[in-house]
Structure formats: structure tokens, C-alpha cells
Amino acid sequence: MNTKQLSLQHLIRKPKIESEMPPMLIMLHGYGSDENDLFSFAEELPDELFVISVKAPYAMQPYGNAWYAIHWDNQDGKFSDDEQAKESREKIVDFIDEAVEAYHLDAKNVTLLGFSQGSILSYAVALSYPEKVKNIAALSGYINKGIIKPGFEKNDFSNLSFYCSHGSADQVIPVEWARKTKPVLDELKIENSYSEFPVGHGVAPQNFYELREWLKKRI
């Protein structure tokens, strides 16, 4: 676990198949969790990948971390701190560059795998900076246009590919929000797939297997 001192704390799993410049997969956990959460299934991911699980920058009490604050009691619909989310978006973009350099990775083969808040940030990074990433696995999230760079619709998305999934019984992020993502991606002419599974706010085993097969074809 030789992690280098970069701007965000992280765990790594080196590729099991060596190559000169391995493809990178960055895991972005959900609200109130940490870098150990998604890392638990790093071993199940394709052997070629250099896997990095990142810890979100905002510590919560008594434990856990967040990419941005959530105001549960807000009445006007603005319950997420979009300014903090934009700061985290930029931190992730900077971290991609740092990791590519520090670990000698392929800058043209970067995958983001986000869950919940990490998924919302993955959409924001990819749609704001499509040149930085190639594949996005957005699990149990949705597109928040308020945290994407203005004018993003004019970006070149020809290199991007999205795998989106959601639990049909999700009690944290309504499945209706997730169902709006495919029409947005279709309109931007971005290659994408969307799947639902009969679970709550989590990743069903069959969800993970489908994602893994999707990844194998694209790295």
C-alpha cells in the first residue's frame, strides 16, 4: 500500500498485470463514508487497472467524510452545498493529474467510479472536463447541473462512455432523479447505459458484475 503524498488521501491497488503506463480507476465514495468503503471490491476489478480509492476532503463528526455538505432541513430545494461541491470537483481534477504523474499512469485511460455523492461528482468532473476522463461508472447518483462548469454542453464528449445504475427502491436518492440522467446524456450524444436493480441505496451483486463486464470492454 505505498501511497504517495498527494493532495487527497487515498489507497491504491497496483495492477496485477504489469504494463508501462497502466489505466487508472479512481473510486469516489459516498457521503459519510471513507476511502475504505469502495476499496473493499478493488480486488474484483480488472487486473490491468491501477485502482485508487480517494478520501473526500471534508471530515464529518463523529466519523466519515463528505465531498460537500448536505443541509437536510433546507426548504427551498437547495439542500446540497454547490460551492463546496464545485471545490471538490476541482480537487478531483487536480488529483487526476497528480496521480498520473506520481504513479506513471495512462492519462488517456482514466475511469471514475463513484457511488452516491461520489457519483454526482463523477458526472460533474466528466461533463466539465471530458478530456480528463474516458469511462464513468456512476452508481446511485444523478446529474446536478448546478455543479457543472457553465457552457459544458459545448464540450467534446466523443471520448466519453457512461455506465449508470440505481436501486429502484433507493430511499436516499429517488430513482426518478437517476432516470433523468439518460435523456441528458443522450441529448449530449454521449455513449451511455442505464440499469436499475431491485435494491435500496447500495450496489447489488448483479449490478457489480454488469459494471465489471462493461469495464473490461473499455479499458
Once rounded to an integer, what is the mean pLDDT over residues 77-81? 71
Once rounded to an integer, what is the mean pLDDT over residues 141-145? 96
Task: Read off the pLDDT of residues 9-66 as tens digits, 9 standing for 90 and up.
Answer: 999 999 999 899 999 999 999 999 999 999 999 999 999 999 999 999 999 988 999 9
Once rounded to an integer, what is the mean pLDDT over residues 155-184? 97
The CA distance from 71 to 194, in Å, is: 28
Residue 77 confidence (pLDDT): 53
DSSP letter for each residue of 18-62: --SS--EEEEE--TTB-THHHHTTGGGS-TT-EEEEEPPSEE-SS
Residue 80 confidence (pLDDT): 85
Helix axes 82-103, 117-128, angle to 10 degrees: 70
Cα-Cα end-to-end distance for the chain? 23
CATH of the domain spanning 10-216: 3.40.50.1820
The CA distance from 166 to 100, in Å, is: 30
The CA distance from 96 to 25, in Å, is: 10
Once rounded to an integer, what is the mean pLDDT over residues 96-121? 97
- Ramachandran bin of 72, using left for φ above 0, alpha for ψ from -120 to 50, beta for the remaining angles: alpha
Residue 2 confidence (pLDDT): 63
Residue 207: count of CB within 10 angstroms of its CB:
20
**What is the residue extent of each domain of the chain?**
10-216
In eight-state DSSP terms, residue 99 is H
